Amino acid sequence: MPRTLDEMIAKGKRKFEKKLPLMKENYDAAKSVMKTEYGKLPFGPKTKAAYNAGIDAAEYRVPDIDKWGRKYRAGVSR
């Protein structure tokens, strides 16, 4: 039996919520890779230092699950 759009969105939100802790962990782990890969680009030392400082200062923002649901609904309702 096909699911309704509301049921599909509710399922997606549940799956999204389960992934939230891992998403932050993966983001924090990727910071060193971001800096390493950016360091390989042909920018000067000041630009690279500014980038690294920005990555170090960056904080993971928890995604808005309700926003995801609204955007999903809008995307599939076209």
Tell me what pLDDT residue 48 has. Answer: 98
CA distances from 19 to 29, 46, 63 (A): 15, 36, 11
Question: Total structural domains in the chain?
Answer: 1
pTM over 0.75: no
List helix spans (H) across the chain. 5-39, 45-57, 65-76
Tell me what pLDDT residue 1 has. Answer: 64
Could you tell me the residue range of the domain that residue 22 belongs to? Answer: 5-70
Assign 3-class secondary structure to 17-30. HHHHHHHHHHHHHH
Task: Please state, in angstroms and rounded to a whole number, the distance separating the CA atoms of residues 75 and 77.
Answer: 6
Q: Is residue 13 in some structural domain?
A: yes
- 62-75, pLDDT tens digit by residue? 999 999 999 999 99
- 35-62, pLDDT tens digit by residue? 999 999 999 999 999 999 999 999 999 9
Q: Is residue 78 in some structural domain?
A: no
